[in-house]
Structure 1
Amino acid sequence: MKTIHLAQTAGFCMGVALALKKLDQALAGKKAHQHIVTQGPIIHNPQVLKYYQAKGVFECQSLDELNARTVVVIRAHGIPLDMQHAIQATGATLVDATCPKVKKAQILIGKNSEQGRHLLLFGEKEHPEVKGLVSYAQNGFTVFESLQELETILPHIAQPCFLAAQTTQDREEFKTIQARLTNILGDIPVMDTICTATKERQQEAIAIARQVDFMIVVGGKNSGNTRRLAQVAAATHTPCCHVECREEIPVKDLVSCRTIGLTAGASTPQHVINDIVMYVRQLQA
């Protein structure tokens, strides 16, 4: 039987649990004439989305679908300000399930932008959270995904700047970026927008990966925080895979492994984690 080291931080974070609680409350309070939609996927996990689709909850595809009989639940990642205003203009009921950590980042970005500063945001350009965050930057923004990319951009920015990050970014890399910016620009405002849970998950994933023969990271392929868990685990040089379900586990790579580490992204349901743990334990050494 395999020995599995399961991360204590694996599974739903506070923001995801809160978003799903708000969606469940909306379903419980739904009136006969209402229908419920989400603005974007409520979280980045295919099993969860399938569960709510079975309950009749689908993503809004167009503002034309919305009216006074619609309840719109904002995704945990948040949405751009103009989208929020457009939804409100339809007369739909708005339920804001934005993660409190993301909401804090939005507010901090808005306040610093009011002081005439240009936002430098460390994040994934196409990620929905990032699109929401930059909508609060009233004096322009630049999104970069690495220190090297930022170095090429800086000479073209003339305004005073401030630094922030997507909430699920790597904190150590962010510190490196901050130090480099300080050398170039001097002291600039730096917003502490990386979620503490993200740091704790990454640290635990690294610690476990260093102790095992193989590392499994469970969660949606479109989940940024899950992808980064896989990246930091793989950086330890322990073989690692990122899977959404048991069918994706590379069984042949595990056959000779005695110890296996397992963690999961912040939007991964507990039943999916449990299923993979049971499956791996049954594999023959």
Structure 2
Amino acid sequence: MKVVRAAYAGACYGVQRALDLALKAVEDGGAAYTLGPLIHNPQVVRQLEERGVRAVDGADDVRDGDTVIIRSHGVTPEVKRMAQARNLPLVDATCPHVARAQKAAAQLAEQGRHVVVVGEAGHPEVEGLVAYAREAGAPVSVAAGPDDLPDALEGPVGVVVQTTQTSEALDAVVAALEERGVEPLVKNTVCFATRQRQEAAAALADEVDAIVVIGGRNSSNTTRLADICAAACPRTHHVETPGEIDPAWFEGCDTVGVTAGASTPEEQIDAVTSLLEGL
């Protein structure tokens, strides 16, 4: 069975940057705390904890003098202020693309627009985008798709998008607004690395008999990759570790594809690939 890796797969710049910053914060044996998991990869989060980087719910759970790390998904302005008010050493590991989206949400709000955030309600990145827009004084709506748009939108509208969403999701929401006669100001903040991985996964899924998507089940970008692959290749399997793989999945397969979410480090991809090559 031939194993083919997607042209673009695995940890993106923002994730690798966050990991590097977190490990640097504890390289002298100190303790550091991330406000929520640093990235959406349970195995990596456990490894970080073994190195002294622990995930907590909020700044109140951090001891005085210990370092606070803002995770790659970012936090709300209020959470950042709470950490600063306690004079806690602060390491901002917010992905630069997420920071750009936060700035865009605030700018749209400052222009007096109703801000529509295209993304998953409750996702930490989306919660941050909503908070940045609301702090700037705007009404905010979250829409994963056209059906989530409110019946009425007062005044001019601005649109910003969760960085790991698909461009198709953004286009669908914008098209629905335009059908209502609304001409929104759109800030397309979909991350280029996310788009690369989605396009590469879709292309690979068309060429193989089965495909394995590697990454945390709590990772929205990995789950989205699995959905994209499943649309083209019914034998799509989302796993976090090699131990989850069942050889029976690949009976009759000549080729199997491998892709991975932006929160998946290289060693996890290598472990799954090695197992598949040995089947």
Instruction: Settle same-fold status: TM greater than 0.5.
Output: yes
What CA deviation, in whole Å up to 9, does each residue of 1:162-205 have, x standing for no partner? 11111000112312322232232342200111001111111110
Structure 1 residues 63-74: aligned runs within 5 Å? 63-74=59-70
Q: CA–CA distance in 1 between the matches of 2:121 and 2:28?
A: 36
Q: CA–CA distance in 2 between the matches of 1:60 and 1:121?
A: 26
Which amino acid in the other structure matches residue 48 of structure 1?
V
Give yes or no for contact 2:15–2:72 (8 Å, CA) kept in 1.
yes
State whether structure 2 residue 110 is matched by structure 1 residue 114: yes
Of 97, 101, 115, which aligns to 1:101? 97
Segment drifting more, 99-108 vs 61-70: 61-70
Q: What SS does the corresponding residue of 1:235 show, helix, strand or coil?
A: helix
Q: CA–CA distance in 1 between the matches of 2:57 and 2:73?
A: 17
Q: CA–CA distance in 2 between the matches of 1:58 and 1:217?
A: 27
Which amino acid in the other structure matches residue 142 of structure 2?
V
What CA deviation, in whole Å up to 9, does each residue of 1:135-159 have, x standing for no partner? 1113121111122222xx1x23223
Output the aligned Cα RMSD.
1.4
Q: What SS does the corresponding residue of 2:185 show, helix, strand or coil?
A: coil
Which residue in 2 is equivalent to 1:148?
147
Give yes or no for contact 2:174–2:184 (8 Å, CA) kept in 1.
no
Q: CA–CA distance in 2 between the matches of 1:63 and 1:42?
A: 14
Which amino acid in the other structure matches residue 96 of structure 1?
D
State whether structure 2 residue 52 is matched by structure 1 residue 56: yes
The one of the two structures with greater contact order (alpha-carbon pairs below 8 A, sep at least 6) is 1
Q: What SS does the corresponding residue of 1:262 show, helix, strand or coil?
A: strand
Structure 1 residues 196-275: aligned runs within 5 Å? 196-275=192-271
Count, aligned residues: 276
CA deviation after TM superposition for structure 1 residue 237, in Å: 3.9
Which amino acid in the other structure matches residue 72 of structure 1?
V
Give runs of ≥4 in structure 1 deviating > 2 Å: 60-68
Which amino acid in the other structure matches residue 56 of structure 1?
G
Give yes or no for contact 2:35–2:58 (8 Å, CA) kept in 1.
no
Of 118, 130, 134, which aligns to 1:134? 130
Which residue in 2 is equivalent to 1:178?
174
Give yes or no for contact 1:202–1:229 (8 Å, CA) kept in 2.
yes
Runs of at least 5 residues in structure 1 that lack an aligned partner in the other structure: none
Which residue in 1 is equivalent to 2:161?
165
